[in-house]
């Protein structure tokens, strides 16, 4: 208790030197909480967005379908089995047919993925209803990434060429009926959505589907021969892996930030012991044991972290709260990363992370304070009293 | 050791390593100080005065011989036991005051009592008494940087006396003070010696201090060359 009292007095008495260290430590703490909040917030948002825009409550994939292998698209479809068409008819599922195609925006050929989905579906957020209406032309829907890549605008007509089920090339013009904005690139990049019945008709794949998206909250998952069910977690595993990789990168950043702050504390402690030798000698002359003085200096160093936690709470809490409320705008370039990243990320601060980081800062500061303070135990008090450098 | 002897130094030798050889600072000193003395070790620079005071204050160990302080042999005491003895029974006054710069006058004087784990009320009473002895009752909230040299040394005296120690060791207490301040603090210490029967042992070569001493132990080249009692 005495060490705490004295340490606080000494720290406050040290003035600017203390507050500089406290600020640097609190900055590290706030930055670490902020960064982990961003990663956590990104994780939460990416999961929500991907679920709402792309995968719903899970997907049934045709046995031969592999989204990472375009060569499987020729065979990766089949007749919608009765179990799944039942779900479709009940509004519990949305079948999607996928095929390869080429478009010719501004006369340049571009290989794309053509996807067919029911314009009336309500399973995912894709604004498919924009494809309904005028049937004299095929109404298509593209995302902003695809629109930027192809320079296509709403109501533009663009030639599209595909192979039907017999491998015969066919082509027509489609009209861009709508351009949607989403954080989920997997339904946007290099893709054109058209009504399912039109795609089925032009490819001759009547009643076929490549995969079927289930409505969120469906609990009864039938086993369908020839189709593999992918639950939400397995469909989100890619995002999870990417975020995990980012989290590891974040940990490296935390270590760098914390090391810099701890270096400042260590430096202060070394300087403090060097400059306060006479004071150390006085403490010993007045009856403190050497280890009491070591404890005093260690507590003094460690108190930097306690003060920094208070400082971080004072200036960091409102700042972190504001960012959590208004979001953190991500740079425009992140749109092209192929990851689900919102334009604005709303950080989610985990109490566990804050507690763990606070404890880490407390423990590491105590350790870096103790290391130089050990020197006191070996000091000759008579030399210290004279302020002689030892 | 007789009942009134509170410091007994027997064949005390202290050698310091110097280059390839050794420097003998104290060479077989024998000395006894009784309770209530106002005595001083005098001699030129390098004669071993501070070394002797440091050994008596249990801040340093002798190379040979022994110093028995309040019945405890410096050779038998562990570092921790020596610290506890200093904490309870010894007071120090230094040439450069050695006040804790971030503490106020009150807090500086209070420090030894914090180590003794006295209650806040007891501490307050004792500190105010001590500051009154040295005439600094009006400076309780001041920091050392706001005080003159004489005032700083008076705070140091208050800090040394606040716990009413048996022995006060004062190493060149007037070296940084002008004549007026020197006489002032010496009169203060003499009064405390008379009122509280505290034993004072000085290390000095200042004539002003010597003029107040009741016993003068002259040290030359690490040996006691003269030990005289002065009747005033």
Residue range A342-353, pLDDT digits in tens: 778 889 998 988
Give A291→chain B minimum CA distance, Å.
9
Residue range A12-71, pLDDT digits in tens: 877 888 888 899 889 988 998 998 898 888 888 889 999 999 999 999 999 999 988 888
What pLDDT score was predicted for residue B3?
A: 56
Q: Do A279 and B111 touch (CB under 8 A)?
A: no
- Counting beta carbons within 10 angstroms of the beta carbon of residue A233, is it exposed (0 to 12), middle (13 to 18) or buried (19 or more)? exposed
DSSP code for A53: I
Q: How many whole angstroms separate alpha carbon B101 and alpha carbon A79?
A: 88
Give A373→chain B minimum CA distance, Å.
18
Is residue A1 pLDDT above 90, yes or no?
A: no
Question: What residues in B contact A9, CB-CB < 8 Å?
Answer: 102-103, 107
Give A21→chain B minimum CA distance, Å.
18
CB A299 within 8 Å of CB A4: yes
CB A149 within 8 Å of CB A111: no
Beta strands, E only, A118-198: 138-143, 157-163, 169-180, 191-195
Residue whose structure tokens are 């000759």: A380
Question: CA nearest B51 in A: which residue?
Answer: A382
Which element (helix H / strand E) includes B14?
strand B5-18
Q: Compute the mean pLDDT over every residue in chain A, rounded to the nearest whole number.
A: 89
Residue range B105-119, pLDDT digits in tens: 999 999 999 999 999
Share of chain A above pLDDT 70, in %: 97
Among the ranges given (A46-60, A113-127, A252-266, B59-73), the one the predictor scored with the smallest mean pLDDT: A252-266
CB A309 within 8 Å of CB A361: yes
What pLDDT score was predicted for residue A336?
A: 58
Looking at the DSSP bridge assignments, the partners of residue A175 are A139, A157
- Counting beta carbons within 10 angstroms of the beta carbon of residue A223, is it exposed (0 to 12), middle (13 to 18) or buried (19 or more)? exposed
Distances (CA, A) of A311 to A3, A37, A308, A355: 21, 19, 5, 15
Residue range B133-169, pLDDT digits in tens: 888 999 999 999 999 998 999 999 999 999 999 999 9
For chain B, which domains are there? 5-229 (3.40.50.300)
- Counting beta carbons within 10 angstroms of the beta carbon of residue A201, is it exposed (0 to 12), middle (13 to 18) or buried (19 or more)? middle
Query: How many CB atoms sit inside 10 A of residue A107's CB?
Result: 6
What pLDDT score was predicted for residue A112?
A: 94
Considering only CB atoms, B98 lies closest to which of A288, A289, A385, namely A385
Which element (helix H / strand E) includes A95?
strand A93-103
Question: CA nearest A10 in B: which residue?
Answer: B102
Domain boundary assignment for chain A: 2-52+238-385, 58-230
What pLDDT score was predicted for residue A332?
A: 66
Residue to substitute from B14, B48, B100, B141, interface A, most A β-carbons within 10 A? B100
Q: What is the mean pLDDT of residues B194-206?
A: 93
Is residue A191 pLDDT above 60, yes or no?
A: yes
Size of interface A-B (CB pairs under 8 A): 66
Is residue A11 pLDDT above 90, yes or no?
A: no
The ipTM (two decimal places) reads 0.92
Q: What is the mean pLDDT of residues B197-201?
A: 94
Confidence category of residue A338, pLDDT binned at 50, 70, 90? low
Residue range B7-48, pLDDT digits in tens: 999 999 999 988 889 999 999 999 999 999 999 999 998 899
Torsion, Cα B201 B207 B211 B217, to 10 degrees, reads 40
B81 contact A CB<8A: no
Residues of A with CB under 8 A from a CB of B: 2, 5-6, 9-10, 12-14, 278-279, 281-282, 284-290, 292, 380-382, 385
């Amino acid at each position: 208790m005495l060490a705490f009292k004295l340490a606080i007095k000494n720290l406050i008495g040290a003035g600017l030197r203390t507050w500089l260290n406290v600020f640097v430590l609190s900055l590290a703490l706030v930055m670490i909480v902020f960064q982990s909040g961003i990663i956590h917030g990104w994780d939460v948002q990416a999961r929500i967005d991907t679920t709402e825009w792309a995968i719903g409550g899970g997907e049934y994939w045709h046995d031969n379908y592999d989204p990472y292998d375009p060569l499987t698209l020729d065979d990766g479809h089949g007749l919608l089995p009765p179990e799944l068409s039942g779900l479709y008819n009940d509004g519990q599922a949305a079948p999607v047919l996928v095929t390869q195609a080429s478009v010719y925006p501004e006369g340049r050929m571009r290989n794309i993925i053509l996807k067919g989905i029911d314009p009336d579906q309500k399973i995912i957020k894709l604004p498919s209803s924009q494809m309904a209406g005028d049937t004299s032309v095929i109404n298509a829907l593209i995302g902003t990434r695809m629109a930027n890549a192809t320079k296509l605008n709403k109501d533009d007509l663009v030639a599209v060429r595909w192979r039907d089920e017999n491998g015969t090339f066919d082509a027509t013009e489609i009209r861009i009926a709508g351009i949607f904005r989403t954080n989920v690139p997997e339904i946007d990049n290099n893709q054109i959505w058209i009504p399912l019945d039109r795609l089925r008709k032009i490819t001759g794949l009547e009643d076929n589907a490549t995969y079927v998206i289930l409505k969120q909250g469906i609990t009864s998952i039938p086993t369908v021969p020839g189709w593999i069910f992918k639950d939400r977690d397995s469909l989100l595993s890619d995002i999870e892996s990417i975020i995990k990789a980012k989290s590891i990168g974040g940990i490296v950043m935390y270590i760098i930030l914390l090391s810099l702050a701890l270096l400042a504390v260590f430096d202060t402690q070394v300087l403090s012991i060097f400059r306060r030798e006479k004071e150390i000698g006085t403490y010993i002359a007045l009856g403190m044991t050497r280890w009491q003085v070591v404890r005093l200096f260690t507590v003094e160093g460690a108190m930097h972290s306690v003060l920094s936690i208070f400082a971080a709470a004072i200036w960091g809490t409102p700042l972190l709260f504001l960012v959590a409320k208004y979001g953190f705008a991500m740079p425009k370039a992140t749109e092209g990363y192929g990851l689900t990243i919102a334009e604005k990320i709303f950080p989610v601060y985990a109490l566990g992370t804050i507690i763990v980081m606070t404890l880490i800062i407390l423990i590491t500061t105590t350790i870096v304070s103790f290391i130089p303070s050990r020197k006191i135990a070996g000091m000759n008090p008579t030399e210290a009293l004279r302020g002689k450098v030892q | 050791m007789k009942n009134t002897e509170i410091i007994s130094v027997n064949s005390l030798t202290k050698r310091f390593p110097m280059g390839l050889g050794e420097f003998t600072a104290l060479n077989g000193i024998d000395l006894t100080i009784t309770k209530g003395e106002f005595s001083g070790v005098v001699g030129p620079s390098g004669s071993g005065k501070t070394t002797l005071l440091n050994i008596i204050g249990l801040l340093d160990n002798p190379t040979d011989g022994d110093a028995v302080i309040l019945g405890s042999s410096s050779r038998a005491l562990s570092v921790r036991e020596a610290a506890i003895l200093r904490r309870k029974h010894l007071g120090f006054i230094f040439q450069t005051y050695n006040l804790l710069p971030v503490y106020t006058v009150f807090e500086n004087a209070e420090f030894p009592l914090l180590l003794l784990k006295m209650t806040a009320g007891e501490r307050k009473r004792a500190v105010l008494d001590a500051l009154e002895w040295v005439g600094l009752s009006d400076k309780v909230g001041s920091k050392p940087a706001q005080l003159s040299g004489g005032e700083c040394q008076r705070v140091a005296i208050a800090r040394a006396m606040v716990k009413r120690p048996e022995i006060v060791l004062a190493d060149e207490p007037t070296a940084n003070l002008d004549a007026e301040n020197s006489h002032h603090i010496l009169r203060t210490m003499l009064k405390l010696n008379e009122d509280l029967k505290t034993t004072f042992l000085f290390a000095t070569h200042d004539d002003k201090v010597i003029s107040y001493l009741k016993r003068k132990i002259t040290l030359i080249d690490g040996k006691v060359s003269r030990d005289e009692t002065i009747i005033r």
